[in-house]
Amino acid sequence: MNPFEVTPRSVDSAFKNWSRIYSKPYNKHEVSPYTKTRVILMNGTEFESVWFGHQTQRNCPNNDIRRDLALIRRVEQQQQKVIASLKPMDETILEHTISYEQLAVDLTAELAKREPDKNVKAALDFALLEDFDHLYRYSDLLEAMVGVKSEELVGHYAEIMPGRPTISEHRYPFDNVRFFINCKSAAPITKLNVAIITAAEQQTMNYYMNVAALFENDLGRQLYQEIGLIEEQHVTQYGSLLDTKTTFLEHLLMHEYTECYLYYSCYEDETDLYIKGIWEEHFHQEVAHLHMAADMLKKYEKKDWQEVIPNGNFPQLLTLHENKAYVRDILANTVQITSKKEEYVDVASLSNDDDFFKFQNAVNQPVEEVPTHIVIQSYIDSKGEDYRYQDSDHPVPALRDRVKDNVSVGREANANG
């Protein structure tokens, strides 16, 4: 599929009345967990498009371009409304959060498996273990509060057990910035992977920024605060991978191409017929945006779209599915890794006066007050052991203990046992 070869509809033909903008929500008990994660992924993709359009307007003196951006942005906003209303009213903030972290795990793993650039793959594998741990912490809160088992919500496609413990994920901010890719030499799939994961993690960060204060108890509000600050680190990491040497209109073209690619992938992957129809309709709306962005690039920068996207054919499409073996392998081999500026290093290699330990001491003292630790320890205190869903023994021996929450792995030398 090459969206540059698809005949575009007019951009204006996308406008809908109020009944068509308000979708029929899915049934949370019947729909595939991956339909829920696709809804979150595309909601985040649209959010990124909308905010990219606003930022571009604020940096652009030409009102003809600003009007074109306003037109595209109005449609992106409408798409976001259509997608966001798919979430049913009876799906709680915390249940929805489980799908956010399931998406983070399975999307990150899938992108890492297909990523040819070593640095980008390392970034994905690194954050994978952190979101995997978030899934476990939120799952224990959910089980403790209302008795809902996350293994049902994730359809048994993901294991629920500790990852790199969240307490160890807090790094000095300098250590979250990576080298950016070069769009001229990067593989097409690398450019897509970086754009997709940045928008998805940003969506998670924004969601936690908004829902923390809406949550119904102190522990939950604190949990969203703490994990929200890790999502800030993830968005810093992934956003730093984006090529900084592209113009706004080149970026616009790449945004529209990424949207075409994702809607087409979702369309091919989708099992819910009603939602499949939405992905198809949005794909055609994005084709219209893509052609408009190519025209703008030609008109204002005298560049052909092939200078940004040399081959318009989609690389392999994105599919969402279970990645249990992959996650176990990364856990077994890299749970003790932290990051030092652009590198990933074993925590044992850091000197005692490293920024990592200073920052850990500033935010995690006393350890008994760290929310992601409290949520597990209080569960253990009331029920005897934590809530988990595992297919077999945890791949990290130190994380097998179910009656004591481990606060050493990832933050002390050789703590993986």
Q: Which residues in this chain contact Fe ion in the complex, by CB under 5 A?
A: 46, 49, 76, 79, 104, 131, 134, 201, 231, 234, 256, 259, 286, 289
| Beta carbon of residue 106, minimum distance to Fe ion (angstroms, whole number) | 12
Q: What does the DSSP 8-state code read for residue 23?
A: P
**Which conformational region is residue 167 in: left (phi greater than 0), alpha (psi within -120 to 50 degrees), or beta?**
alpha
Phi, psi angles (nearest 5°) of residue 414 = 50, 40
Contact criterion met (CB below 8 Å) for 127 and 237:
yes
CA distance 104 to 137: 14
Q: Which is nearer to Fe ion, 334 or 348 (CB)?
A: 334
104-117 as b/e: b if 16+ CB within 10 A: bbbbbbbbbebbeb
| Beta carbon of residue 181, minimum distance to Fe ion (angstroms, whole number) | 19
Contacts for 375 with CB less than 8 Å, ≥ 6 apart = 137, 140, 141, 144, 219, 223
Neighbours of 121 (CB within 10 A): 17
Contact criterion met (CB below 8 Å) for 101 and 135:
yes
Q: Which is nearer to Fe ion, 8 or 395 (CB)?
A: 8
Q: Which is nearer to Fe ion, 77 or 401 (CB)?
A: 77
| Beta carbon of residue 47, minimum distance to Fe ion (angstroms, whole number) | 10
| Beta carbon of residue 96, minimum distance to Fe ion (angstroms, whole number) | 13
CA distance 44 to 206: 9
CA distance 320 to 38: 8
Contact criterion met (CB below 8 Å) for 183 and 245:
yes
Q: Which is nearer to Fe ion, 258 or 336 (CB)?
A: 258
Q: Which is nearer to Fe ion, 46 or 226 (CB)?
A: 46
| Beta carbon of residue 51, minimum distance to Fe ion (angstroms, whole number) | 12
344's enclosing H/E stretch is strand 343-346
CA distance 105 to 154: 11
| Beta carbon of residue 353, minimum distance to Fe ion (angstroms, whole number) | 29
| Beta carbon of residue 193, minimum distance to Fe ion (angstroms, whole number) | 15
Q: Which is nearer to Fe ion, 224 or 382 (CB)?
A: 224
Dihedral sign (CA 153, 34, 105, 221): negative
Q: Which SS3 state, helix, strand or coil, does residue 302 take?
A: coil
Phi, psi angles (nearest 5°) of residue 382 = -90, -30
Q: Which is nearer to Fe ion, 224 or 387 (CB)?
A: 224
**Displacement of CA 362 from its chain's centroid (Å):** 27
Q: Which is nearer to Fe ion, 46 or 110 (CB)?
A: 46
Q: Which is nearer to Fe ion, 87 or 134 (CB)?
A: 134
| Beta carbon of residue 185, minimum distance to Fe ion (angstroms, whole number) | 26
CA distance 250 to 303: 9
CA distance 153 to 246: 40
| Beta carbon of residue 252, minimum distance to Fe ion (angstroms, whole number) | 9
Neighbours of 228 (CB within 10 A): 18
| Beta carbon of residue 33, minimum distance to Fe ion (angstroms, whole number) | 16
Q: Which is nearer to Fe ion, 57 or 401 (CB)?
A: 57
CA distance 69 to 53: 6
| Beta carbon of residue 227, minimum distance to Fe ion (angstroms, whole number) | 6
CA-based nearest residue to 219, from 94, 96, 130, 90: 94
Contact criterion met (CB below 8 Å) for 134 and 371:
no
Q: Which is nearer to Fe ion, 143 or 231 (CB)?
A: 231
